[in-house]
């Protein structure tokens, strides 16, 4: 079996400290690569902080902006794939990839391979409204892309997307066997976080890696607990709520064997 080492960078995120947050992200990429990671994944809105809604417009960037460019260079320099997810994207300023709207802001992840090539862009589909103004400030994504990384077909969703299982079915139908989920999930909804991510792994018989942040904002505290669930829904690696790097050895053949042993996906009736 050929295993891939995935590293979930549970970063300390300080609201509005974009320079400091990006530096911590770059340090995590370097550290994870030194520890043998093949893929490093970052949390949702690790630059500005999810709950810093009043700063979204000020710190919005295009895909070609400084943050993604620095992480793209880090991927190539350290020979490691990087899921840079997510930042506030300025859709009007983005030039290199298709955008869902002529203007506005989006919650956007980018996946770079170990050569620094852009393999995937994902804009959050389901925008949160409960106790949040994300759905007022941002434009939802429209596309589901996949990428080949470390023997896996990788898909990306973001945080609140965990509550919408049909999105994950679409990814499985596209051949995905690893879903990475950059998130900014707060207390007190620990059981939702644990249950939903595990359910998405079980029902789709794939790996689900949830990458959460750490830190407190004016009215919310991120609960951390970044976790890798295997295709049986077993948590093979996880954390508490402090900043850390969670690593796990994952194998695409594990997905194949589970789907062959218990062929629930084959029994779907559409």
Query: How many whole angstroms separate alpha carbon 122 and alpha carbon 132?
Result: 21
124 among known catalytic residues? yes
44, 61, 89, 134: the active-site residue: 44
159 among known catalytic residues? yes
Query: How many whole angstroms separate alpha carbon 118 and alpha carbon 84?
Result: 10
3-class secondary structure, 221: strand
Other beta carbons less than 10 A from residue 191's beta carbon = 8
89, 124, 134, 206: the active-site residue: 124
3 among known catalytic residues? no
Contact 21, 13 (CB under 8 A): yes
61, 134, 159, 206: the active-site residue: 159
Contact 154, 120 (CB under 8 A): yes
Contact 91, 99 (CB under 8 A): yes
Written as six digits, the tokens of 184 are 């900014």
Catalytic residues, which ones?
Answer: 44, 124, 159
């Amino acid at each position: 079996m050929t295993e891939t080492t995935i590293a979930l960078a549970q970063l300390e995120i300080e609201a509005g400290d974009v320079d400091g947050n990006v530096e911590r992200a770059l340090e995590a990429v370097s550290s994870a690569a030194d520890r043998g990671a093949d893929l490093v994944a970052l949390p949702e809105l690790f630059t500005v902080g999810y709950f810093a809604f009043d700063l979204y417009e000020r710190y919005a960037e295009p895909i070609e902006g400084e943050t993604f460019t620095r992480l793209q260079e880090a991927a190539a320099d350290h020979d490691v794939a990087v899921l840079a997810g997510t930042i506030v994207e300025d859709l009007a300023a983005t030039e290199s990839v298709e955008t869902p709207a002529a203007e506005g802001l989006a919650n956007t992840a980018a996946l770079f391979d170990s050569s620094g090539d852009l393999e995937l862009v994902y804009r959050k589909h389901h925008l949160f409204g409960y106790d949040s103004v994300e759905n007022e400030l941002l434009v939802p994504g429209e596309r589901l892309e996949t990428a080949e990384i470390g023997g896996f077909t990788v898909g990306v969703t973001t945080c609140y997307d965990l509550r919408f299982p049909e999105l994950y079915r679409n990814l499985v139908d596209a051949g995905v066997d690893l879903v990475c989920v950059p998130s900014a999930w707060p207390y007190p909804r620990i059981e939702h976080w644990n249950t939903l991510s595990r359910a998405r792994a079980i029902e789709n018989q794939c790996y689900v890696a949830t990458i959460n942040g750490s830190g407190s904002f004016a009215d919310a505290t991120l609960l951390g607990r970044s976790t890798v669930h295997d295709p049986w829904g077993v948590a093979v690696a996880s954390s508490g709520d402090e900043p850390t790097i969670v690593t796990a050895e994952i194998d695409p053949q594990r997905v194949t064997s589970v789907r062959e042993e218990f062929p629930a996906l084959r029994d779907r009736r559409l």
